[in-house]
């Protein structure tokens, strides 16, 4: 071995030591990153750029040293890209400018690069211009006259330092030996050793990049979670709070690092975290993982959250903080509330007619003295009416179930004289009340329309009976029919209790009833308008809405086309 070689060898040893140090740093950083502490950094704060920069520096130094050790003008390394099947030159390079290096791509089947990559063996070429293996374009473009190319191989070793896996990830070139000399076999061996260091740095860098990428993805996922997520360290400092959580607690900006009890202005939540943190210190940390229900108030609206919390542990199983997830339960709780009030009203609605029917039948059965024929008839009449009421309720429930199941109510379309129908309904409803005055306003001449007569009857009846029900003090009720050319409009106005603004759109929702003192006295199920809307909008391609002023009265208006587009309605049965 000559002096030169000895010097170079020690240079290589030095490099290896540097590399070991870099590897150690990377491992440490990885660990630091995955731990809870690291989540403090915002995803784009750039904190993780530092170690990457360091790694890039190491790589750059290595590439430069390779050129120096081999006394080459240029060093270029290429990675294999599986999707394109190409070897792609990567920065940093030495002796070639970075912009041009990015455009160097070679198919893995071509040139010396391809050969070295495929065979996993080094190649030396002494005359690039004449050598049949070289790609002449590149030779000319990069002004190459001789060179050595070795494979970049990553080896995985077990504890006994035995190679368990070998993978060629790319190739390493040195081009143009200085002072007009030629590369020799000694250079090849040296370059092979340097290539293994380079491959190790590249691999570590990729692993690190993957970790950073994964962490970024994780943070983005947490950030975009619909549920609120809060992480509090064992010291009581907020380490993570996603956007939903910031909204729930009404906090702006980055609060990481601040104490939870200074940021959360919610007694229940503060108490929950305090208790959680206390258990972290004791042995109960195991059991801590409880669910709580917390109510938050937001512009006068209540929102109910179901909160699940659990300790966060490090690799050794030691608890280092608490994670809490806030799920919005408001809708579920409202549905539960609605369901129980629905069950109460339906039972009431079922019981009332049944009690009446049973009462009159018992009276008739006990008839010893003999009722007058007229009295008897009156009783039968009431029983008949109450039976109809029961049937209506049961039909409503069945229809709702059908709509719920996604089926449309089966329509039966014919020509309908809407004016005559409105007159009929008004006449029937007049008999149901002595306190209200019912008026019908309609044009002299009115076209017939295509529709389902029974269903339209149900719509108008429902609107009229609501107008009567919700005007307990009587008043005028006006039904107005208008011809709008290709549509007809029907409106029902009353002088009743009216509907508060915030309920106007909601009264068409299933089970929705205005909840106030006046309204509570009137029994109902909240199903009528839901069905009416379905009948108007789905079966008659129309629209329905309400206008109202509390204490003044309400108007319900619907418009339907005179000629339906039957092809757009499933299960249509044209006459």
Q: Which helix (H) or strand (E) holds 247?
A: helix 243-248
The radius of gyration of the chain's CA atoms, rounded to the nearest angstrom, is 41
Residues 469 and 435 sit within 8 Å (Cβ to Cβ): no
439 token code pair: 């008026």
Build a one-symbol-per-residue string for 178-217: x at contacts with ligand ADP by CB under 6 A, - elsewhere.
Answer: ----------------------------------------
Provide the minimum distance between the beta carbon of 256 and ligand ADP in the complex, in angstroms, as a whole number. Answer: 48
Build a one-symbol-per-residue string for 6-35: x at contacts with ligand ADP by CB under 6 A, - elsewhere.
Answer: ------------------------------
- 267 contacts: CB under 8 Å, gap ≥ 6: none
Q: Please choose, out of 106-114, 280-288, 404-412, 508-516, the segment that lies near ligand ADP by the rule CB under 6 A.
A: 508-516
Size of the site for ligand ADP (CB under 6 A): 21
Provide the minimum distance between the beta carbon of 281 and ligand ADP in the complex, in angstroms, as a whole number. Answer: 54
For residue 259, the 8-state DSSP code is B
CA dihedral 84, 86, 92, 93 (to 10 degrees): -160
User: Given candidates 91, 95, 524, 561, which one binds ligand ADP under the rule CB under 6 A?
Assistant: 524
Q: Please choose, out of 150-158, 437-445, 462-470, 479-487, the segment that lies near ligand ADP by the rule CB under 6 A.
A: 462-470
- 3 contacts: CB under 8 Å, gap ≥ 6: none
| Position 466 contacts ligand ADP (CB under 6 A) | yes
306 token code pair: 């179901």
| Position 499 contacts ligand ADP (CB under 6 A) | yes
Q: Please choose, out of 30-38, 156-164, 284-292, 525-533, the segment that lies near ligand ADP by the rule CB under 6 A.
A: 525-533
Provide the minimum distance between the beta carbon of 221 and ligand ADP in the complex, in angstroms, as a whole number. Answer: 42
Provide the minimum distance between the beta carbon of 550 and ligand ADP in the complex, in angstroms, as a whole number. Answer: 9
Q: Please choose, out of 217-225, 357-365, 438-446, 519-527, the segment that lies near ligand ADP by the rule CB under 6 A.
A: 519-527
276 vs 498, beta carbon nearer ligand ADP: 498
Q: Which helix (H) or strand (E) holds 536?
A: none
Residues 572 and 473 sit within 8 Å (Cβ to Cβ): no
Q: ∠ CA(334), CA(338), CA(340), 5° rounding?
A: 120
Q: Please choose, out of 5-13, 27-35, 72-80, 463-471, the segment that lies near ligand ADP by the rule CB under 6 A.
A: 463-471
Alpha helices in 432-508 (DSSP H): 453-469
Q: Minimal CA–CA distance to 198: which of 333, 319, 59? A: 59
Residues 395 and 388 sit within 8 Å (Cβ to Cβ): no
User: Given candidates 416, 494, 541, 542, which one binds ligand ADP under the rule CB under 6 A?
Assistant: 494
Binding residues among 551-570 for ligand ADP as defined by CB under 6 A: 554
Provide the minimum distance between the beta carbon of 414 and ligand ADP in the complex, in angstroms, as a whole number. Answer: 26
Instruction: Quote helix, strand, coil % in the chain, to nearest 5.
Output: 45, 25, 30
Residue 362 has, within 13 A of its CA and on its CB side, a CA count of 6
Q: Please choose, out of 139-147, 288-296, 415-423, 464-472, the segment that lies near ligand ADP by the rule CB under 6 A.
A: 464-472
| Position 353 contacts ligand ADP (CB under 6 A) | no
Provide the minimum distance between the beta carbon of 554 and ligand ADP in the complex, in angstroms, as a whole number. Answer: 4
154 vs 504, beta carbon nearer ligand ADP: 504
Tokens 């520096």: give the residue.
57
Provide the minimum distance between the beta carbon of 546 and ligand ADP in the complex, in angstroms, as a whole number. Answer: 7
| Position 396 contacts ligand ADP (CB under 6 A) | no
279 vs 461, beta carbon nearer ligand ADP: 461
| Position 411 contacts ligand ADP (CB under 6 A) | no
CB-closest chain residue to ligand ADP: 524
- Residue 412 sits at φ, ψ, to 5 deg, of -135, 100
Three-state secondary structure call for residue 310: strand
Edge-first strand listing for the sheet containing 147-157 = 105-107, 86-94, 72-81, 163-177, 147-157, 123-125
Three-state secondary structure call for residue 90: strand
551 vs 574, beta carbon nearer ligand ADP: 551
264 vs 530, beta carbon nearer ligand ADP: 530
Residues 183 and 76 sit within 8 Å (Cβ to Cβ): no
| Position 472 contacts ligand ADP (CB under 6 A) | no
| Position 507 contacts ligand ADP (CB under 6 A) | yes
Q: Is the peptide bond before 92 cis (omega within 30 degrees of 0)?
A: yes
Residues 67 and 77 sit within 8 Å (Cβ to Cβ): no
User: Given candidates 228, 353, 528, 542, which one binds ligand ADP under the rule CB under 6 A?
Assistant: 528
| Position 488 contacts ligand ADP (CB under 6 A) | no
Report how far residue 308's alpha carbon sits from residue 290's, in angstroms, rounded to the nearest whole number: 6
Pairing relation of β-strands 105-107 and 86-94? Answer: antiparallel
Neighbours of 438 (CB within 10 A): 21
Report how far residue 210's alpha carbon sits from residue 187's, in angstroms, rounded to the nearest whole number: 34
| Position 496 contacts ligand ADP (CB under 6 A) | yes
Three-state secondary structure call for residue 268: helix
Provide the minimum distance between the beta carbon of 553 and ligand ADP in the complex, in angstroms, as a whole number. Answer: 7
| Position 529 contacts ligand ADP (CB under 6 A) | yes
Tokens 């009115």: give the residue.
446
User: Given candidates 356, 483, 519, 547, which one binds ligand ADP under the rule CB under 6 A?
Assistant: 519
39 vs 554, beta carbon nearer ligand ADP: 554
Q: Please choose, out of 59-67, 140-148, 482-490, 520-528, the segment that lies near ligand ADP by the rule CB under 6 A.
A: 520-528
Q: Please choose, out of 52-60, 170-178, 489-497, 562-570, the segment that lies near ligand ADP by the rule CB under 6 A.
A: 489-497
Residues 486 and 563 sit within 8 Å (Cβ to Cβ): yes
Provide the minimum distance between the beta carbon of 528 and ligand ADP in the complex, in angstroms, as a whole number. Answer: 3
| Position 474 contacts ligand ADP (CB under 6 A) | no
Which residues contribute to the site for ligand ADP (CB under 6 A)? 466-467, 470, 494, 496-499, 507, 512-514, 519, 524-530, 554
């Amino acid at each position: 071995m000559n002096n030169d070689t000895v010097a170079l060898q020690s240079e290589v040893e030095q490099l290896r030591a540097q590399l070991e140090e870099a590897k150690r740093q990377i491992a440490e950083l990885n660990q630091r990153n995955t731990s809870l502490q690291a989540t403090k950094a915002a995803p784009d704060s750039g904190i993780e750029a530092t170690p990457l920069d360091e790694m890039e520096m190491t790589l750059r130094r290595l590439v430069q040293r390779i050129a120096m050790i081999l006394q080459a003008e240029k060093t270029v390394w290429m990675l294999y890209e599986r999707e394109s099947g190409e070897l792609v030159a990567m920065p940093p390079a030495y002796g070639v400018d970075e912009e041009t290096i990015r455009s160097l791509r070679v198919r893995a089947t071509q040139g010396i690069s391809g050969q070295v990559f495929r065979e996993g063996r080094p190649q030396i070429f002494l005359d690039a211009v004449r050598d049949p293996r070289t790609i002449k374009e590149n030779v000319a473009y990069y002004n190459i006259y001789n060179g050595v190319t070795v494979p970049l191989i990553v080896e995985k070793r077990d504890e006994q330092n035995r190679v368990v896996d070998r993978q060629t990830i790319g190739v390493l070139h040195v081009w143009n030996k200085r002072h007009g000399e030629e590369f020799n076999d000694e250079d090849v061996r040296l370059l092979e050793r340097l290539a293994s260091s380079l491959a190790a740095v590249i691999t570590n860098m990729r692993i690190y990049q993957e970790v950073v990428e994964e962490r970024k993805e994780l943070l983005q996922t947490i950030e975009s979670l619909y549920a609120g997520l809060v992480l509090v360290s064992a010291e009581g400092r907020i380490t993570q709070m996603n956007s939903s959580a910031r909204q729930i607690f009404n906090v702006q900006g980055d609060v990481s690092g601040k104490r939870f009890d200074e940021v959360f202005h919610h007694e229940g939540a503060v108490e929950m975290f305090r208790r959680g943190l206390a258990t972290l210190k004791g042995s109960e940390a195991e059991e801590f993982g409880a669910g709580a229900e917390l109510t938050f108030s937001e512009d006068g609206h209540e929102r109910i959250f179901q909160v699940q919390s659990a300790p966060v542990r490090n690799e050794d199983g030691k608890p280092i903080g608490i994670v809490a997830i806030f799920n919005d339960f408001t809708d579920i709780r409202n549905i539960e509330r609605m369901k129980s009030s629905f069950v109460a009203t339906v039972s009431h609605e079922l019981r009332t007619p049944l009690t009446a029917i049973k009462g009159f039948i018992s009276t008739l059965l006990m008839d010893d003295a003999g009722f007058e024929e007229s009295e008897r008839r009156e009783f039968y009449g009431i029983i008949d009416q109450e039976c109809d009421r029961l049937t209506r309720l049961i039909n409503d429930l069945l229809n709702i179930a059908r709509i719920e199941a996604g089926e449309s109510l089966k329509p039966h379309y014919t020509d309908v004289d809407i004016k005559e129908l409105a007159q009929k309904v008004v006449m029937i409803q007049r008999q149901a009340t002595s306190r209200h005055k019912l008026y019908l306003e309609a044009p002299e001449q009115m076209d017939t329309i295509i529709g389902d007569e029974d269903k339209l009857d149900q719509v108008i009846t429902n609107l009229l009976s609501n107008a009567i029900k919700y005007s307990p003090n009587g008043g005028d009720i006006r039904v107005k029919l208008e011809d709008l050319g290709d549509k007809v409009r029907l409106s029902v106005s009353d002088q009743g209790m009216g509907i508060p603004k915030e309920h106007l759109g909601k009264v068409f929702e299933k089970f929705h009833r205005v909840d106030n003192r006046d309204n509570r006295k009137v029994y109902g199920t909240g199903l009528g308008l839901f069905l009416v809307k379905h009948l108007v909008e789905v079966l008659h391609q129309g629209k329905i809405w309400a206008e109202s002023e509390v204490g003044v009265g309400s108007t319900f208006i619907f418009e339907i086309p005179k000629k339906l587009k039957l092809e757009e309605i499933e299960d249509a049965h044209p006459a």
